[in-house]
Amino acid sequence: MLENPFLFSAGLLGLTLILSILFKRFLGIKYDRKLLSSNLIAFLVALAGYLLFRLDFTEISDWDLASRIFGCIVIVFVGNALIQFIFWLIINFFKKTNLAKLPRFVFDIVSFILIIALIFFCTKHILNKELTGLLVTSTVFSAVIGLALQGTLSNLFSGLALQVASPFKLHDWVNLGGHEGEVISQNWRSITLLTRESHRVSLTNRFVSEDVIINYSRPSRKELNNFHIVLDYSHPPNEVKQIMRDLINEIEEVDLDPINGPVVIDYMDSGIKYAMKYWISDYADIVRVEDKVLTRLWYKLQRENIIIPYPTQSLQMHMMPDIPKPKNKLSRKSISSFLEKQKWLKSMDKDKIDKLAKQCEIRIYAHKDLIVKQDDDGDSMFIIYQGSTDVLIKSQEGKNIKIAEKLKGDFFGELSLLTGEKRTASIVAQEDCILFKISRSAFKKILYADKKLLTQLIDGLEKNMSGIAEAIDNEIKRSKGTQASAKQRILSQIKSYLFID
């Protein structure tokens, strides 16, 4: 009687091991511990039964009954191993073909029902006993069992209902009853979430099915995020809204919502309240993306001299001594000292450099901030005081390709300042940077006071492989003239553009 189950369990264990190894090697399917353990236990139980069956226990009074009982046990264990093996094949088939995504607990429930049915079958046909009578003879016993299983059955049927409705699936980001996280497991009793703090929160199926379910990953993983900011009344709203639009368009991870872009929503005691909505590609990244947007917004508002006011309820004590200056408040003396050390300004005397320093605007940029964009109009140049930048050129496919770096003391944008040409490349901050910006209007103020400064500046730029040096070389090739004549023509063009006689 026990010989056939033993041979079957041995063959099933061998087949399971072979398929597990092949599936892992060629399909990347991990080993299923539950499957392997159930097959191994079934084999050991069948082996023990087989060895007992081969021995002669004449001292046992009712050996036939004992062998039949042990035979039922062996059949149940071997049957469980076979069920686990079949379900393992079905689950992996569904995973590879994407026909359906059923949680493991559904198969566990079906497996439990099949094992109970197998126990009834063995009891009836091998032991010649009926268990159905035992289940219905005692009303009190049935009531006690029913009450004891009430919570378990409630969770079981709630889990089945959730599976049928499918309001979420594994790895979705959800909010279940006020608990936010990623769904990492679902079984017959509970659902487990992994929060942003790496806490595991287990919620019963009944609790989840009776509460509000918010799924941030359906119908797509894109999420519309909204934030508010209060800014000073002195800034025109249309200008502020354009600055916020430009910021969002510069950040690759987000897309401005075309309908609910920057809008004014209220006049507060301390300033004008703005709201802006933007799309992010995955809700799981919302904290990182919000940090990038809000950080870059601060830098942009600082560059544009837009004030973020304090709440009117807070008391500001102006009598506090020795308030440290912000790092970006550089003295004109420090700027002059820095400019004096630059090779391309060596031809200028200290007085001219001081005049140039007075016209420098201090601009702060965050990591990955877009400083200038290729093909945009420009009328200013920049000098790097702190940090470094990437020089990017757009390819024919529309991708930005890094071609160079600009480090401390380097400059860019001189052609736009002197000739009004469009930006020939995009400049992006490699890290947090402090730049000195010289605008066309500020530069003209210096030239009106000292027209010789332009010639000296051109001399310095020509010697330092700048855009001006390239423009002079191009003019030599075009006109086939001398270095001096080409330089004079470029200088005349610059004066004409700047309206300097």
Q: What are 237-274's pLDDT values in tens digits?
A: 999 999 999 999 889 889 998 888 899 999 998 899 99
What's residue 55's pLDDT? Answer: 60
What's residue 58's pLDDT? Answer: 46
238 and 357 part of one domain: no
DSSP one-letter code for 234: T
Pick from 17-21, 118-122, 227-231, 331-335: least confident: 118-122
47 and 187 part of one domain: no
What's residue 47's pLDDT? Answer: 84
Residue located via tokens 């320093």: 357
187 and 251 part of one domain: no
94 and 184 part of one domain: no
- Mean pLDDT over 378-388 rounds to 92
Higher pLDDT residue, 123 or 360?
A: 360
Closest-CA residue to 407 (of 427, 429, 388, 385): 388
26 and 97 part of one domain: yes
Higher pLDDT residue, 434 or 101?
A: 434
Q: How far is CA 265 from CA 153, 257, 275, 391, 486, in A?
A: 50, 16, 7, 39, 57
- Mean pLDDT over 379-398 rounds to 90
17 and 113 part of one domain: yes
Sign, Cα dihedral of 470, 475, 480, 484: negative
What's residue 452's pLDDT? Answer: 73
Residue 128, helix vs strand vs coil: coil
- Helix H or strand E segment including 152: helix 150-165
- Are the C-beta atoms of residues 447 and 501 closer than 8 Å to each other? no
What's the rounded Cα separation, in Å, for the pair 185 and 166? 14
DSSP string of 301-320, one letter each residue: HHHTT---PPPTTSPP-TT-
CATH number of the domain encompassing residue 295: 3.30.70.100
SS3 per-residue string spanning 57-112: CCCCCCHHHHHHHHHHHHHHHHHHHHHHHHHHHHHHHHHHHCCCCCCHHHHHHHHH
Q: What are 351-364's pLDDT values in tens digits?
A: 888 888 988 999 99
Q: 481 lies in a domain? A: yes
**The token pair that represents 15 in the structure block:** 């087949």
Q: 125 lies in a domain? A: yes
The residue from 303, 321, 349 where one domain ends is 303
What's the rounded Cα separation, in Å, for the pair 374 and 218? 37
- Mean pLDDT over 153-158 rounds to 77
Q: 66 lies in a domain? A: yes
Q: What are 174-211's pLDDT values in tens digits?
A: 999 889 999 998 887 889 999 999 999 999 988 998 88
For the chain, helix (H) and strand (E) counts, in that order, are 17, 17
CATH number of the domain encompassing residue 176: 2.30.30.60
- Are the C-beta atoms of residues 423 and 374 closer than 8 Å to each other? yes
Q: Please state the φ and ψ torsions of residue 180, each to the nearest 5 degrees.
A: -105, 140
The residue from 197, 215, 233 where one domain ends is 215
357 and 396 part of one domain: yes
- Mean pLDDT over 122-133 rounds to 71
Q: 385 lies in a domain? A: yes
177 and 291 part of one domain: no
What's residue 342's pLDDT? Answer: 86
How many domains does the chain divide into? 4
Pick from 171-180, 230-239, 269-278, 307-316: least confident: 307-316
Measured in Å, how far apart are the chain's first and last C-alpha atoms? 115
Where in the sequence is the domain holding 89, given as residue range(s)?
A: 3-137
426 and 339 part of one domain: yes
With DSSP H G I counted as helix, E B as strand and the rest as coil, what are the percentages for the chain, rounded to 5? 50, 20, 30
- Mean pLDDT over 289-308 rounds to 92
Q: Please state the φ and ψ torsions of residue 222, each to the nearest 5 degrees.
A: -70, 145
Q: How many residues does the chain have?
A: 501
Q: What are 47-93's pLDDT values in tens digits?
A: 887 777 666 544 544 556 777 777 788 888 888 888 888 888 888 88
- Are the C-beta atoms of residues 478 and 472 closer than 8 Å to each other? no
Q: pLDDT band for position 139 (50/70/90)? A: low
What's the rounded Cα separation, in Å, for the pair 173 and 213? 11
Q: 452 lies in a domain? A: yes
> Which percentage of the chain shows pLDDT scores above 70?
84
Higher pLDDT residue, 470 or 343?
A: 343
Task: Count other C-beta atoms under 10 Å from residue 438's C-beta.
Answer: 21
Closest-CA residue to 462 (of 345, 350, 357, 336): 345
420 and 468 part of one domain: yes
390 and 471 part of one domain: yes
What's the rounded Cα separation, in Å, for the pair 414 and 459? 13
Q: 145 lies in a domain? A: no
- Mean pLDDT over 229-233 rounds to 93
273 and 356 part of one domain: no
Q: 152 lies in a domain? A: no
Q: 37 lies in a domain? A: yes
pTM above 0.75, yes or no: no
Residue 173, helix vs strand vs coil: strand
Average pLDDT, the chain: 82
